[in-house]
Structure 1
Amino acid sequence: MKTITMTDVNELARRTGNTPMGVLTELIEQGYQLTDESSQPKGKPLSSAKDALSLWKESKQRVAEEMYKGDPLVRQLMDADNASKSFAPQSPKTILERDEQGKVTGTSKSMLTGATMKEQAELMAAIRATYKQGEN
Structure 2
Amino acid sequence: MAKQIIERLIDDLDGGDAEETVTFALDGVNYTIDLSTKNASKLRELFAPYQSAGTRLGRGAGTWRPGLAPKQGRNSRADNAAIREWATKNGHELAERGRIPVHIVEAYETAKAAPGKAPAAEVKAPVKATRRSGKRAAAAVA
TM-score by length of 2: 0.24
Query: Per residue, is there more strand in 1 or in 2?
Result: 2
Of structures 1 and 2, the larger Rg is shown by: 1
TM-score by length of 1: 0.25
Query: Per residue, is there more helix in 1 or in 2?
Result: 1
